[in-house]
Amino acid sequence: MENKLSLIIREVVFNSPISNLGMMERRVANTPGAQCGTEDSPVRFEIMEETLKRGRGGPGGSRSIRIMVPTMLGIIKSLRSLSNNPSQPKTEAPAELIDDLEAYLLDMGASSVGYTRVPEHWVFRDKAILHNNAVVMTMEMDKPRIDTAPSQDSLEAVMEIYRDLGSIANKGANYLRERDYSAHAGHPLMGLALYPPLAQMAGLGWMGASGLIITPGHGPRVRLATIFTSIENLPFSTQNDHRWVEDYCAVCQLCVRKCPAQAIMPEPQRHPDGRMTYIIKERCFPHFSDWYGCSVCIAVCPFNKIAYGNLRQNFVRRKNGLKKPMLGRSLMHPTP
């Protein structure tokens, strides 16, 4: 029975939508003025296609179908709704409208919001986005379930945020269209640009040793989405106070040691264009696919366990030669 149901899931939830998504993404690339990736852009890892090639029924199998159906519909909506954009969109927005948009996104469940321009090399190769002005959002994943990783519960905690944050991005894009701005919702799953560096550029955190964005509110326990818009005067971030995270991660290395697949590089690979590679995908993905989307690197991260401010204060004290641990224990390695 499970095998038959898996075949249905493969066809209805994944195979047909994936084929349609490819066509819709190509339409975006052919839109006049769209920002396309370059030859130096990273290639998007087609996670759903690769999962299907491994003979699975899709991420989470039949138990997760209730989450994956609205998630896939949300991805499709993010592309189909582009036809609703105004033919002559506004490009300047009053500060009050931007404030109202941010409040709207936060009220719907986004954890933080930032703004940046998108360099073309962060758009995936052979993909495109409609505008290079980005509203970047994070959304927290449920800590008790993430802490059980790898498990069905942790997988569903991740997938629920893909669904819910995707809905927020679509609603935010529609909010702007109703006010005569053009908008392109960047869904958190199957995005058209590389989100972690955009979140870093938007001042929402800093990329950690696992390649995930480390945020002050929830550490790496977030997912990311964007809204690309015609608004040229967004309050783009000009500074980032989280750079110290890079130094912390270089010392900590807990996710590197705890990775079940040994897929996190002890030192990220630096590319000439500024890109960084943190993960050996040939090691990560098979384990990810077989073990509920893994998420061990999130669960073991000290930023998932201890307050950001406490970690920062302790790290600065150690860096300055003040060896006495705070709170009666080491905050560099809170777990054995």
200 phi and psi angles, rounded to 5 deg? -65, -45
Separation between Cα atoms, residue 73 and residue 283, nearest integer Å: 30
pLDDT at 202: 98
Contact status, residue 157 vs residue 146, Cβ threshold 8 Å = yes
For 291-324, the pLDDT digits (tens) are 999 999 999 999 999 999 999 999 988 888 765 4
* CA distances from residue 27 to 22, 34, 190 in whole angstroms, order as listed: 9, 10, 16
Torsion region of 90: left, alpha or beta (phi above 0 gives left; psi -120 to 50 gives alpha)? beta
Contacts of 72-76 with C-beta under 8 Å, sequence gap 24+, read: 72/13, 72/14, 72/17, 74/163, 74/166, 74/167, 74/170, 74/187, 75/17, 75/21, 75/166, 75/187, 75/189, 75/190, 76/17, 76/20, 76/21, 76/24
Can you give the length of the chain in residues? 336
pLDDT in tens, 137-191: 999 999 999 999 999 999 999 999 999 999 999 999 999 999 999 999 999 999 9
pLDDT, one tens digit per residue, over 49-107 is 787 777 654 445 567 778 888 999 999 999 999 999 999 999 999 999 999 999 999 99
Query: What is the pTM (predicted TM-score) of this model?
Result: 0.89
What is the pLDDT at residue 319? 81
CB-based contacts of 108, cutoff 8 Å, min separation 6: 167, 168, 171, 172
